[in-house]
Amino acid sequence: MKIILLFLSFLVFASDGFAQFNAGDQNKGTPRLVDSKFLPVEDAFILSHRIEETRIVFHWSIAPDYYLYQNGFKFKYHNLDDFESNIQYPAGTEKWDDYFEKDLTVYYDDVSINVSLLQDAKTQLIEVHWQGCADAGLCYPPQSSQFEVDTLTGTLTPHESNVNDVTTSSASISVVFAILIAVLGGILLNLMPCVFPVLSIKAFELLKNQDSLRSNKAHGFIYSFGVILSFVVFASVMLLLRASGEAIGWGFQLQSPIFVTGLVFLFFIMALSFAGFIEIGSRLTFLGQSSIEGTSYRSSFMTGVLATTVASPCTAPFMGPALGFAITQTTPVALLIFGFLGLGMSLPLLVLSWFPSVYKIFPKPGAWMHLIKQLLAIPLILTTIWLLWIVGRQTNIDVVASILVGITSLSVGVWFLKTTLRQNIWCKPIACCCLVVAALVPFNVLTQQKTDPKWEKYSAEKLRYLKSIKKPVFINVSADWCITCLLNEQLVLDSETFYSTLKDNNITYLKADWTNHDVEITNFLNTYERTGVPLYVYFPGDGEKEQILDQILSPTEITTILTKRTMSQKRKSFN
């Protein structure tokens, strides 16, 4: 009862707290939950239009520090599907887009697009779509309008049923439809490899307690409440961040390498538990994996929270349209849709707990349940690998390696706790040390974010050019599979002292990565009668012969060499 009262209080607080963000947001086409520091969409992108002979000119005046996507434009005449291919777009600016993870063409200041008129109709209906963003980090929802074109008078007039207009009746229908597909998407979410194992374990517990129908009903309700509350909390945080100007959506927490790293360890621990290597029982009830003995409603509630947490990396069919609609609505409507999404996810287990007849479709409890539990460890391991790949994309290969070291340490610690030698006095201290190493991994992730390299890629042509202008050059020939290379980079070449020396002496740093086969790098190695890496060569740029450095680098030695040769060059230039 206390949990229910807390939930109701939270909803009241959320509705009141978010109301200020929706007040005055009645202008059609204006995205909801936009912070005051951002312009309304109609002020950020001002659309005008005119007819010139056989074409329509659509012109957007774009506010400073705002831009429009070229691929966000769409022009469509009604009853003419292949019209889009005839439009020629003006040249724009290439901009790296963090969401799509690729370079996209965008337009700043203003852009005009010419659309041909249809010659066989006096009146025409054209639909226009566009989408823009702000450099500060906000992307507006896609905008669209319809215009009636009168070729006789040469005028364009907004169509009465403008695409951006939403009447009260259609909004109600849209909300109802969004709720229906949210429930359906939540149901399908249970089939995702990251959710199904958790749901299955809870279902097994209900099957074991078929004789206690009243208890099963209570546990099913508490589990559902945990799922729904978690969805509402996640949605509330997301809406708050969007209201503060953050351009985020569902699954925003996955943009944090720390959060994803935590999920990697969570899924791996769950996989070990499902495979039978460890038992997550009553000692770890906060993970929601304990059995539902007696009145342990907390375990059922936390299982719902756990199910929602592990569902965050997954998106089931039908979820996209429902969530996309939710974030354009007022806060109470958005939270309502997210709540129904949670209801859909909890519905299968709720039905299983409240209707005893469903038990008849399952075999009687037995050894098969243990076998299924072990098999469910496979999708958890695959999900762990996928999350590890995400961390690698967000950061770098060093972070992935450190996480793998943490997973290995965790596995070794578990082995020492379960080995037949665990009575040995050293087993528990060693296990504790391994677990501490695993726990330190997130702190390493914090310090190893993806950064731009401070070196340039080697090429023979680039080296020839730098030598021709007498520019000092330091070349590092290495490979990722070379342990000596990695140690030199970690201890010397990645240090701030080394980079400061390069900058102070105007030295260009070229890196020749020989991890994969490269003919140019092989030829460079052969020039110095080398057949392997590492190789470090410094060209002073003063006409003197290049110098080959030792394979084991010393911070003091390399700084002395780079500084000495450059100072000598400066003295010659002065004289």
Helix (H, G, I), strand (E, B) or coil at 203: helix
Q: Which residues of 192-213 are buried (b: 16+ CB within 10 A; e: fewer)?
A: bbbbbbbbbbbbbbbbebeeee
* Three-state SS annotation for 81-110: CCCHHHCCCCCCEEEEECCCCEEEEEEECE
Tell me which amino acid residue 258 is. Answer: I
Q: For domain 41-158, is the CATH number 2.40.50.140?
A: no
> Among candidates 399, 381, 373, 194, which has minimal Cα distance to 269?
381
Helix (H, G, I), strand (E, B) or coil at 549: coil
**Per-residue model confidence (pLDDT) at position 451:** 54
Strand partners, 61: 46, 110
**Measured torsion, CA atoms of residues 189, 192, 195, 196, in degrees rounded to the nearest 10:** 110
Whether the bond between 534 and the residue before it is cis, its omega within 30 degrees of 0, is yes
**Per-residue model confidence (pLDDT) at position 535:** 92
Which residues fall within 8 angstroms of residue 22, CB to CB, at 6 or more apart? 32, 33, 330, 331
Q: pLDDT in tens for each of the 575 residues of the chain?
A: 343 334 334 433 343 443 333 333 333 333 333 444 678 888 889 988 888 877 888 899 999 889 999 988 888 877 665 555 567 888 888 887 765 667 789 999 999 998 887 766 666 788 888 898 888 767 787 888 888 887 666 677 776 544 444 333 334 447 888 889 889 888 888 887 777 777 776 676 666 665 567 777 888 888 889 889 988 988 888 788 767 666 566 666 777 788 888 888 888 888 888 787 776 543 433 344 443 333 467 777 887 887 887 776 666 677 767 776 777 778 888 889 889 988 988 888 888 888 777 766 666 666 777 787 788 888 888 888 888 888 888 777 878 888 888 888 888 887 777 765 556 677 777 778 877 877 777 666 656 555 556 788 899 888 988 888 888 999 999 988 888 888 888 888 988 889 888 888 889 999 999 988 888 898 899 888 888 889 999 998 877 788 899 888 888 888 888 887 555 555 555 44
Whole-angstrom CA distances from 112 to 57, 70, 76 are 7, 11, 17
Helix (H, G, I), strand (E, B) or coil at 12: helix
Let me know: does 478 contact 533? Beta carbons within 8 Å.
yes
Strands lying side by side in the sheet with 55-62: 45-52, 55-62, 110-116
**Per-residue model confidence (pLDDT) at position 6:** 41
> Among candidates 323, 348, 314, 346, which has minimal Cα distance to 230?
346
Tell me which amino acid residue 282 is. Answer: S
Whole-angstrom CA distances from 224 to 57, 297, 354, 376 are 54, 12, 12, 22
HSE, side-chain direction, 13 A CA sphere, residue 298? 5
**Per-residue model confidence (pLDDT) at position 510:** 93
Each domain of the chain, given as residue ranges in start order, spans 41-158, 169-379, 395-451, 456-574
What H or E segment, with its residue span, contains residue 159? none
Distance CA 31, CA 39 (A): 10
Distance CA 476, CA 457 (A): 10
Helix (H, G, I), strand (E, B) or coil at 510: strand
**Per-residue model confidence (pLDDT) at position 476:** 94
* Three-state SS annotation for 204-272: HHHHHCCCCHHHHHHHHHHHHHHHHHHHHHHHHHHHHHHHCCCCCCCCHHHHCHHHHHHHHHHHHHHHH
Phi and psi angles of residue 122, each rounded to the nearest 5 degrees, phi first: -75, -35
Helix (H, G, I), strand (E, B) or coil at 547: strand
User: Which of the following CATH numbers is that of domain 456-574: 3.40.30.10, 3.40.190.10, 3.40.50.2300, 3.30.70.270?
Assistant: 3.40.30.10
HSE, side-chain direction, 13 A CA sphere, residue 315? 12
**Per-residue model confidence (pLDDT) at position 565:** 57
Which residues fall within 8 angstroms of residue 437, CB to CB, at 6 or more apart? 405, 406, 409
Helix (H, G, I), strand (E, B) or coil at 132: strand
**Burial degree of 125 (CB within 10 A; 0-12, 13-18, 19+):** middle
Tell me which amino acid residue 183 is. Answer: V
Whole-angstrom CA distances from 371 to 196, 255, 277, 307, 375 are 15, 35, 14, 21, 6
Structure tokens at 470: 């007498």
Distance CA 184, CA 490 (A): 51
What DSSP assignment string belongs to 45-63? EEEEEEEETTEEEEEEEE-
